[in-house]
Amino acid sequence: MKKKRIIVLIGSLLLILGVVGVVYFFTRDFSAGESSTPPKTESELLEEKGVVLVNAENFVTNANSLLQKGYSADEVNQIYEYMSEANIESILASDYVDLSEFYMISNFEFAKIERYQAYQELKQIEMKDAVTQVNLNLDEPFYQTIETIEAPSSVTVLVNKSHALPSDYVPDDLVSIPSYPNLLIKEEAATPFENLLAAAKLDNITLIPYSTYRSYAKQKSIYNRYLNQDPKEVVDTYSARPGHSEHQTGLALDIRSTTLSDRLTDSDYAWVLDNSYKYGFIVRYPKDNSTITGYQEEPWHLRYIGVEHATKVHELGITYDEYYDLYLTNR
């Protein structure tokens, strides 16, 4: 009897514990005491995909847009590391394009990508060279695309067959070369040119300037005179059309040796090539570069661009056209 009472008691206790357990299970607050994990931000999600975050306007939105277009995280990273803002805008506005050839080309312009590719295939040259040459419109006939120069008085102004000076432009700071008072040049180039002449004298070389500033009208007269003796396509290889002559800037001048008319001796030319940059001048139309400049070699034609730029052009061994596109063009 006693044993039976104990069994009943144990059973009752177990029943009570079971009921308590069930009530607790269904009434307890499961959220209490548990740590809630906040959702990940879009930036964190991009990082998980391998995109390096950049402090740029609308970066998250734009990066996601590029990923949706099919660019990989690595491509997105390279676009933001190497591409200009203008290029990024163009890339965002276009479908996916393989840009692997262009990330390291600083003067790349997305809008010209098809021209770059076509020209590179045609010429079988390195893509970086194709980019520069297309930027100079060398994939087109000379004088086909012409831009009017907005800052003609700049010491670094680029004047060539694609960049024309206004017909009414006359430098407002023309001065006479001290030792040649009948010849005019921009003031900032006058003293450097005198210093160049003096340095040449120390090496027993006499250089004589004979053509400096020319007006638009003067260049037009010269060009038309040449047309009376040669076909236009020939004249264009040695004379600039009006508006396209560096002489109109007041920053260019022609020099000759004492022993030759309108020419330099080989030794004098060698000296000019080795020393003119020290005074801010370059030989504007060097040998073997007519496909770039559009002109035959002109050892006698000097252009003032300042010592800093002239030194870089000399060290790089490139034309001023190429230098201007690579280092002086805002993109």
Residue labelled with tokens 């006939």: 141
Is the domain of 192 the same as that of 307? yes
Is the domain of 202 the same as that of 280? yes
Q: Is residue 64 part of a domain?
A: yes
Position 12 scores a pLDDT of: 54
Is the domain of 306 the same as that of 178? yes
Position 79 scores a pLDDT of: 97
Q: Is residue 303 part of a domain?
A: yes
pLDDT means per 10 residues, the chain with 331 residues, are 52 51 49 67 93 94 97 97 96 97 97 98 97 98 97 98 98 96 97 98 96 98 98 98 98 91 91 98 97 97 98 98 97 85
**Count of beta carbons in the 10 Å neighbourhood of residue 262:** 11
Helix-strand-coil split of the chain, %, nearest 5: 50, 10, 40
Position 258 scores a pLDDT of: 85
Q: Is residue 95 part of a domain?
A: yes
Domain end among 80, 100, 120: 100
Is the domain of 217 the same as that of 313? yes
| Residue 217 belongs to domain spanning | 169-328
Q: Whole-angstrom Cα distance, residue 152 to residue 279?
A: 21
Q: Is residue 284 part of a domain?
A: yes
Q: Is residue 15 part of a domain?
A: no
Q: Is residue 94 part of a domain?
A: yes
Q: Whole-angstrom Cα distance, residue 131 to residue 293?
A: 16
Position 19 scores a pLDDT of: 47
Read off the CATH number of the domain in which 230 is found.
3.30.1380.10
Is the domain of 87 the same as that of 173? no
Domain end among 100, 125, 144: 100
Instruction: Give the total number of structural domains in the chain.
Output: 2
Position 261 scores a pLDDT of: 77
Is the domain of 60 the same as that of 174? no
Is the domain of 230 the same as that of 92? no
Is the domain of 286 the same as that of 208? yes
Domain end among 100, 120, 145: 100
Is the domain of 183 the same as that of 324? yes
Q: Is residue 158 part of a domain?
A: no
Is the domain of 89 the same as that of 237? no
Is the domain of 210 the same as that of 323? yes
Alpha-carbon 175 to chain mean position: 33
The pair of three-digit structure tokens given for residue 108, joined into one six-digit string:
């790349």
Which residue numbers are catalytic? 298
Is the domain of 307 the same as that of 213? yes
Q: Whole-angstrom Cα distance, residue 179 to residue 196?
A: 12
Q: Is residue 214 part of a domain?
A: yes
Taking the alpha carbons of 149, 152, 154, 159 in that order, is the dihedral positive or negative?
A: positive
